[in-house]
Amino acid sequence: MDIYELIAPCHFGLESVMKREILDLGYEISSVEDGKVTFLGDAEAIAYANIFLRTTERVLLKVGQFQAESFEELFEQTRALPWENYIPKDGKFWVAKANSIKSKLFSPSDIQSVMKKAIVERLKEHYRVEWFPEDGASYPIRVSFLKDQAVIGLDTTGVSLHKRGYRQLTAKAPITETLAAALLMLTPWKRERILVDPFCGSGTFVIEAAMMAAVIAPGMNRTFLAQQWRELVPEKCWRDALEEAREQVDLSVATDIQGYDIDGEIIKAARENARLAGVEQMIHFQQRAVSELSHSGKYGFIVTNPPYGERLEEKSALPEIYRTLGERFSQLDTWSLYLITNFEDAQRCIGRQAAKNRKIYNGMLKTYFYQYPGPKPPKRTEKIQ
């Protein structure tokens, strides 16, 4: 099989997590840049990456990279790429997204239009036709400019990979599934350890944790654009990847994963989301305020996305919420606390400085992931306490 460069975009600040995931799948990393990791893989890697990677939004098949400071250069450089190696005669192709940072070419619509014309000219010459029906499989193209360097890729995924298929109902300010998975991977939590989210909302943190505990591949229950690309990615690649994913699932694992929220309707939604994800039996949901946070076990984890003004009418309520969280955490003396927020006074209200904090962009919103690691359990401790 041919070897391709594949690009996995991720949240800014979480490239190390994405890199580790790709290495764990067995693929070679070719570069790590802000917001993306590029790796080498064959057609099978396209299927495996889409089905198994938890922290990327999509998988792009890199077609080319070049410098362009004028639309003439963009046209000629785009036309020079071997589009016929990827797009068949009946393929439906368009430049679905263009973005530009610190580059002379900055108009997305103009970039899209020029590139489409250039691809049409290339394929007309190759297929010796004057018109394309575009009634076959879809081949959306994405281009990103940084300092006049254009990177062009075909989107193998389609609907973003954070759409696992289970979150039908959401809270007012949900965290994406990919970001929740990445943040969980930044913690030392393992499936035999307790995990509680006292602001669980629609359940994303606890559902992602349960899926990780049961080794449920995030893309098992959805489809991908590249499944239509029979010439590029044979059906056997998808079959093999899906079969391996199914063989790994272990729903018999014992877990202590709990999600609380003060809103009873939101808890109902979280339960339904967990059912759709196939992990309802692994999570205990309860309508409960953060002031009632307690647990008899030791060495547990609180991993949460507390309110930070985006989903509250009054920001004046935030100090009390974070103070209460800090008080309850202080009563769990062997526990660890990890929370993502953009509330500037979070540490002061919690009552202590985080051991670490990491800047992470949640969409366009700058947030911090505050990390309060607790003591490690004795090595002989293997069961949930």
Class of domain 4-155: alpha beta
| CA-based torsion, 109, 114, 120, 126: positive or negative | negative
Contact assessment for residue 96 and residue 155, using Cβ atoms and an 8 Å cutoff? yes
pLDDT at position 385: 47
pLDDT at residue 44 in the model: 98
Tell me which fold the domain 177-215+251-372 belongs to: Rossmann fold (3.40.50)
Amino acid 1: pLDDT: 76
Give tens-digit pLDDT for 214-250: 999 999 999 999 999 999 999 999 999 999 999 999 9
Instruction: Check pLDDT > 90 for residue 364.
Output: no
Comma-separated ranges of CATH 3.40.50.150 domains in the chain: 177-215+251-372
End-to-end Cα spacing for the chain: 49
| Ranges of CATH 3.30.2130.30 domains, the chain | 4-155
DSSP assignment of 225-265 equals GGGG-TTTS-HHHHHHHHHHHHHH--TT----EEEEES-HH
pLDDT at 373 over 80: yes
- pLDDT (0 to 100) of residue 318: 93
To the question of pTM greater than 0.85 for the whole model, the response is yes
Cβ–Cβ < 8 Å for 6, 39: yes
Overall average pLDDT of the 245-268 stretch:
96
With a pLDDT cut of 90, the percent of the chain lying above it is: 89
8-state DSSP, 316:
G
Mean pLDDT throughout 113-124?
A: 98
pLDDT in tens, 156-199: 999 999 999 898 766 555 789 999 999 999 999 999 999 999 99
Q: Which residue has the tokens 């967990």?
A: 274
- The vertex-234 CA angle with 230 and 236, nearest 5°, equals 140
Q: Strand, helix or coil at 70?
A: coil
The predicted-structure confidence for 301-341, as pLDDT tens digits, reads as follows 999 999 876 555 567 889 999 999 999 999 999 999 999 99
Write out pLDDT tens, residues 5-64.
999 999 988 999 999 999 999 999 999 999 999 999 999 999 999 999 999 999 999 999
CA 222 to chain centre: 15
What is the average pLDDT score of the chain? 94
pLDDT (mean) for 87-104: 97
pLDDT score of 296: 96
- The residues facing 146 across adjacent strands are 101, 149
pLDDT given for residue 313 in this prediction: 53
pLDDT computed for residue 300 by the predictor: 98
Separation of alpha carbons 4 and 86, rounded Å: 11
